[in-house]
Amino acid sequence: MEALKSALLSQLNYSAWANQRLLTACSVLNSEELNRDLKGSHATVLANLRHIYYAERVWLKRLRDDSLPPLVEIGDQSLFCDPEPEPQLAELQRTWPFVWTGLIQFVESLPAAGPACELVGPDFQIVIWKLLLHIVNHSTLHRGQVISMLRQLGHNPPNLDIFSFYMETGAR
């Protein structure tokens, strides 16, 4: 089980690294570029970044609370996004690292068998390690969409490949 915990921490550290690199790359965009409708799954660069942030934040809360909502609520972003005005890029840069740190600390604090425990909701349950991999995978999907948006806007996006993370950070 320690190997599983180590693998999960590696994935979460990768995701935090990739999120940070993406936020840095997006910091050169002007307001019009951040908010231009590029017809993506969440329309704009900023909307995609918010979506990743909101999803990671709500999953962290659910993990900390050791509870899941009804399955029908899982994908309903309106239940866990911020009211208007939603966070701008500078606020995401300030607050999102607390979410990454929280996810990492959550895994670090788990007992050895903890990743194999289930998080239980009223009408479904999921093993914690599977949920953590879902969080990383979901974020990876939407980061890829932001990378495409950066290219559409004429910018050179950062390399967010996990191999690059391993080489840059010395992660093993």
Residue ranges covered by each domain of the chain: 2-169
Q: Which of 3, 7, 11, 12 is nearest to 104 (CA)?
A: 12
Please list, residue by residue across 77-91, b when 16 or more beta carbons sit within 10 angstroms of its beta carbon and e when fewer do: eeebbeeeeebebee
Task: Out of 3.30.70.1150, 1.20.1250.20, 1.10.357.10, 1.20.120.450, select the CATH number for domain 2-169.
Answer: 1.20.120.450
Q: What is the pTM of this model?
A: 0.95
**Nearby residues of 84 by Cβ (< 8 Å), 6 or more positions away:** none
CA distance 88 to 80: 17
Q: Tens digit of pLDDT per residue, the chain (172 long)?
A: 789 999 999 999 999 999 999 999 999 999 999 999 999 889 999 999 999 999 999 999 999 999 999 999 998 888 888 988 999 999 999 999 999 999 999 999 999 889 999 999 999 999 999 999 999 999 999 999 999 999 999 999 999 999 999 999 987 6
pLDDT value of residue 172: 63
- Residues 6 or more apart whose CB falls under 8 angstroms from that of 92 comprise 23, 49, 50, 53
Place of tokens 């995701």: 15
